[in-house]
Structure 1
Amino acid sequence: MTNTSTPSGRPKKHFWQKKTKKNELSVDDITIVDQDMLKRAIGAAALGNAMEWFDFGVYSFLAVTIGKVFFPGGSPAVQLIATFGAFAAAFLVRPIGGLFFGPLGDRIGRQKVLAITMVMMAIGTFCIGLIPGYGTIGIAAPLLLLLARLVQGFSTGGEYGGAATFIAEYSTDERRGFMGSWLEFGTLGGYLLGAGLVTGLTAAMPADALLSWGWRIPFFIAAPLGIFGLYIRLKLEETPAFQKHMEKQEALEHSKPQLSLLQMLNKYRAQMLKCIGLVLLFNVSNYMLTSYMPSYLTGILGLSELSGLMLIMVVMFVMMPLTLFWGHWNDRLGRRPVIALGAVGLIVLAVPCLWLIGTGNLALVFLGLMILGALHTCFSGTMPSALPSLFATDIRYSALAIGFNISVSLFGGTTPLVTAWLVEKSHNLLMPAYYLIGASVIGLITVFFMRETARKPLHGSAPAVASEAEAVRLVKKIKLRRQKEAAKPAE
């Protein structure tokens, strides 16, 4: 991070206070990122996302069992739809969580809000393990399940936007894509931990024991994970970009008042629509693979629970390094080409992939899932850096939390429920593919209107580099470019 004084001890003038000739840039204007703090920030943000997706992995892989415990009266298909209904209900309150936590994060800081969301996520997940089944307390059981999911949904409304903002504001301009991809690496790691735990319990326990009490074990593990995550997040400092923003506010005689929700939606309408379109593509493919496919394989195609779980887990494991791979390459190729590659891939290959999965042959099922997973990593490796770059520092947390959660609530979180209903009503096993194609077309149109942000400073922030030597080289490079531009004859 930048120092607050010059070598002579005089207070340093920040770039927003300077009025130098020709608006020249100096080394003091560049943010020099503390590399140790950057690593801690990435770890803390990724851990929170891992906590969120630990719950998703557990819930998705136990969907059939949860349906039997809380909705025992219906057919397997109806139980599955009811279970995903409770899953989707949590997404209805996520925009409310975004409306609450987003402006709070722009006002009091990213670090404090991320500590609060970590605690709430852990409490919601832990409480699911405490709820008695329908056979014990009747209709109160599914109602309590819904309440716990609503607590989770409210807290996660402030989690992803804050975590992505936190990493983006801590990262250097040259490697923001790669650093952001660790957020989704944490997502997959948390999902794998939850899914692996469920798979181990399914393999080790008799079916009646799993149905009776074994399914509760993964939810109880959320408590120690949450305490550890809270400890890590409380040790962090605020991001350099937000610190500079607050310094700027203090330096001005009259701080700029925070925009109201309607003012922000009106002023940043185009950016908000781009955010919603990108998140739609990102999350439909995400929840299709991670939340719907485990139950699709077992409840619809009739594969054994253990086989279905193991296939998805192997795909998730392969996706982890692929996410980092695309995180690295979108810093070089650009965010737009990588996202477009994934969208075009899904448009062309979604139907063949679902056909392969629908054969029921384990090798072909794995191939279809692996192609879908590999295409999704084009988004998971890129979105954590692309989305925060849409907005300026003073409204970044608010706008991203609101736009992200509106899109997730309307399109992403409802994907398992809507797809299960479409398959049930149409008896067409290719419905998931058509759903993916529709999302990909919307995403591809959005990419066309995006501005490329790879290797560029965040909107409203100073350039960020890893060392003072890089800052010196950057200043020389900018000065040389301006000299060349000034030397060009006027047209």
Structure 2
Amino acid sequence: MRNEPVHGKELLVPVRTDVEASASAVSRHRLLWRAIQRRKNPPLRRSDITVTEEKTVRKAVKAAALGNAMEWFDFGIYSYLAVTIGKVFFPSGNDTVQVLSSLATFAVAFLVRPVGGMFFGPLGDRIGRKKVLSFTMIMMASSTLAIGLIPAYTTIGFWSPALLILFRMLQGFSTGGEYGGASTFIAEYAPDKRRGYYGSFLEFGTLIGYTAAAGLVTILTVTLADSSMDSWGWRIPFLAAAPIGLVGLYLRLKLDDTPAFQKLEDEGSTSAADRESLPFWQVFRTQWRAMVLCMALVAAYNITDYMLLSYMPTYLSDTLHYSSTSALVPIIIVMLVLMAAITFVGRFSDHIGRKPVLMAGSVGFLVLAVPCFLLIKQGGIVPVFAGLLLLGLCLLPYVSVMSASLPALFPTNVRYGSLSIAFNISVSLFGGTTPLVTEGLISSTGNDLMPAFYTMLAAVVGIIAAAVMKETARKPLEGSPPAVATKEEAIALVESQRS
């Protein structure tokens, strides 16, 4: 306030201080910014919000998870039968060379996965998630069935490993479009507030595939003589892929495409044409940061995942000289524990976020990898199982939230393609090569703790990636409108904009 003379009298006139003026300017800027944001992002209408009924979401989750189970059943039976496959398809002689040859063939499938991702991923962004996932299911089941029909090396010689490599490459090519599509499928169907819960069922399918493969191989190993297992018993799990594939195909064909993709199609032919003409290099140029982050997360996840679920049976039997049954049974029990807990952790991540869950798993591997492998080396039922269980509990955060975290890194119009390409490049470099690299490190150094050190390296990558990523829990997918579970939630969301 200051005194102003008016006709010989003083009048108190309010005067704005610098602080008040500054506050007023900030307020004006805020109002202006809000007005600009409203023009860019007009208020949501009820018709803009996707309402997905729980019954429909469950059908979508079931169809995607069964396909994922099929994928990992195929890969699981190969990894659990690696020693037997080495004897059947490669010349007799050095046992270590046979095992390494078998593991190298296992890794071959991962070399073509990026090619499959580059082919099927962008195709899924153009013609739809459902069509591509149905085709990959047919291709995957057929190539697995074909492996079970290949004659042994003693029958057709060189052609035996050549055919094995060919069909493993077809498996890898088809799988290149599977995970990215399946995780995208579930993420685009699930309500935003429950994406972690529903996404966890995809990895639940992974564990079912691994467990079914390990269980079937264990039953065959126990009930069949070694000679019978080597001559024909190993074929049974591969032949079982055909009926499983038919069931998965039936479920996928019964579903409509995802609501997010249907909204893209509804935007008009111009939008569709733009998607068809978008070249890979342009996708990478606009999405490279998200793709690099995705590759880092996948590297940490897959090294630890393949180390525990794929390589450990070979490590226990070949390096520590356990019987095949003794190597598989504790792995099966650990996977059953993970299956019992995975959806609870997925649901928990919907409340506290994906970042802290991923960070917990990474720190766990960094701290506990060496103690766990020392327990396993100690021998005996209890120490071996304790070491494997602790590793499994460190893996649990990854398997619970990864399928909800990765699709959220990318916008809807390039989600399938970007995720498939980044995921499969990383899996090719770090996931499928884990058994081969680890076995090679042990053979070259003579140090049977190399798996622990490799796991710790993956954990460091996981910590950095989890720290850098943005939190996506309970938020709409980029490029898609909000998704809710009920009409009441949609109405409440529209009303909340008025406050």
The residue that corresponds to 2:350 in the other structure is 331
Shift, 1:326, TM fit = 1.4
In the alignment, structure 1 residue 150 sits paired with structure 2 residue 164: no
| Worse-superposed segment, 49-58 or 250-259 | 250-259
The residue that corresponds to 1:458 in the other structure is 477
Picking from 284, 292, 313, the partner of 1:265 is 284
1:199-250 CA-partner distances (Å, limit 9, x unpaired): 0011111111111111101110011111111111111100000000111133
Distance 1:109 1:309 in 2: 39
Distance 1:253 1:230 in 2: 26
Q: Is the 8 A contact 1:249 1:255 kept in 2?
A: no
In the alignment, structure 1 residue 140 sits paired with structure 2 residue 175: no
Counterpart secondary structure, 1:25: coil
In the alignment, structure 1 residue 387 sits paired with structure 2 residue 427: no
| Worse-superposed segment, 342-351 or 29-38 | 29-38
Counterpart secondary structure, 2:268: helix
The residue that corresponds to 2:59 in the other structure is 40
Output aligned runs, 1:36-185, within 5 Å.
36-185=55-204
Equivalenced residue count is: 462
The runs of 5 or more residues in structure 1 that have no matched partner are 1-18, 481-491
Shift, 1:362, TM fit = 1.7
Output aligned runs, 1:278-289, within 5 Å.
278-289=297-308
1:23-76 CA-partner distances (Å, limit 9, x unpaired): 222222111012221111000000000001111221111111111111243422
Distance 2:149 2:275 in 1: 47
Please tell me the residue identity of whatever aligns with 1:46: A
The runs of 5 or more residues in structure 2 that have no matched partner are 1-37
Counterpart secondary structure, 1:318: helix
Q: 1:326 to 1:253 in 2, by over 3 A?
A: closer
Distance 1:22 1:379 in 2: 34
Distance 2:39 2:450 in 1: 61
Please tell me the residue identity of whatever aligns with 2:135: I
Distance 2:170 2:459 in 1: 31
Shift, 1:256, TM fit = 5.8
In the alignment, structure 1 residue 425 sits paired with structure 2 residue 413: no
In the alignment, structure 1 residue 361 sits paired with structure 2 residue 380: yes
**TM-score scaled by length of structure 2:** 0.90
Picking from 248, 251, 264, the partner of 1:229 is 248
Q: Percent identity?
A: 54
**TM-score scaled by length of structure 1:** 0.92
In the alignment, structure 1 residue 352 sits paired with structure 2 residue 371: yes
1:388-422 CA-partner distances (Å, limit 9, x unpaired): 00000000000000000000000011000000000
Distance 2:139 2:275 in 1: 31
Counterpart secondary structure, 1:455: coil
In the alignment, structure 1 residue 377 sits paired with structure 2 residue 396: yes
Distance 2:46 2:238 in 1: 50
1:156-178 CA-partner distances (Å, limit 9, x unpaired): 00000000000000000000001
Q: 1:257 to 1:364 in 2, by over 3 A?
A: same
Please tell me the residue identity of whatever aligns with 1:306: T
Distance 1:464 1:37 in 2: 13
Q: 1:478 to 1:76 in 2, by over 3 A?
A: farther
- The higher radius of gyration belongs to 2
Q: 1:134 to 1:251 in 2, by over 3 A?
A: closer
Q: 1:297 to 1:252 in 2, by over 3 A?
A: closer
Q: 1:340 to 1:252 in 2, by over 3 A?
A: closer
Distance 2:269 2:62 in 1: 30
Please tell me the residue identity of whatever aligns with 1:231: Y
Counterpart secondary structure, 1:130: coil
Shift, 1:477, TM fit = 2.5
Picking from 216, 234, 248, the partner of 1:215 is 234
Shift, 1:251, TM fit = 7.4
Counterpart secondary structure, 1:439: helix
Shift, 1:20, TM fit = 7.8
Distance 1:443 1:259 in 2: 31
Distance 1:101 1:424 in 2: 37
Counterpart secondary structure, 2:477: coil
